[in-house]
Amino acid sequence: MKSCGVIFDMDGTLFDTESVFQEEWNRIAEERGLSLPESFKYEICGTSGDPMNRIIEQYYHVEEGSEIQRLCKERVARRLLAKVPEKPGCREILSFFRKRGYVIAMGSSSPMKQIRANLEITGLSSFFDALASGEEVKQGKPAPDIFLLAAKKLGISPDRCYVFEDSPNGIRAAFAAGMKPVMVPDLMPVTEEMREKCFAIFSSLIEAKEIFEKSGN
């Protein structure tokens, strides 16, 4: 087995669920007579814990954001019980890394219960050697804690880990962890900062798999 690991973000990277979250964030805001600006989407994607609470408090004009965060996650979880939409190339790239002998982890801001549920519903649990959730660390993305925990669970040095992410905060977290950030954009545009921090940027998981295959990694 290669002494290399690959860590995947979940929402917006392996699963096409980020748009579901955005729909619920906006629905909750509308119920409170608010209209969220475009900037909310860019700030909230890829965050968890206290950083997410602070963003919620700012945009929803509340003193404590944890209740709104809980409500949004509960609504999304109910919707995903029926089906968890996969990003194109999700199964192919997991199979590729598994066949190449990489150890694979999920590093997601979502609750562990949701991570396990999504993997069970999609039948992808067997691909993962470790799972790391935002609930298990003190600081969420863009802090590196989640990815460092994932690497620890895999037993792999951070500098031997690729991290697949769709959001700027996720890329910042992977970069801060001393890993190799790979961006597959979803809702967020690629900025110059992302180009500087990324090991590679791909338009899809399909393209990523093809390039990794050709490179012999």
Contact by Cβ (8 Å): 34, 61: yes
Catalytic option among 11, 145, 166, 186: 11
Query: What stretch of H or E contains 165?
Result: strand 161-165
Tokens of 139: 């600081």
Determine which helix (DSSP H) or strand (DSSP E) holds 195, and give its type and residue range: helix 192-197
Residue among 200, 105, 190, 198 nearest 146 (CA): 105
Nearest to 164 by CA among 152, 180, 150: 180
Q: Quick check: 14 and 90 in contact, CB under 8 A? A: yes
Active-site choice (9, 145, 166, 186): 9
Nearest alpha carbon to residue 4 among 155, 173, 184, 207: 155
Dihedral in degrees, nearest 10, Cα atoms 13, 208, 201, 167? 0
User: Is 11 annotated in the active site?
Assistant: yes
Instruction: Tell me which DSSP letter residue 86 carries.
Output: B
Distance CA 97, CA 156 (A): 15
Identify whether 159 is a catalytic site residue. no
Spatial contact of 72 and 24, defined as CB atoms under 8 Å apart = yes
Catalytic residues: 9, 11
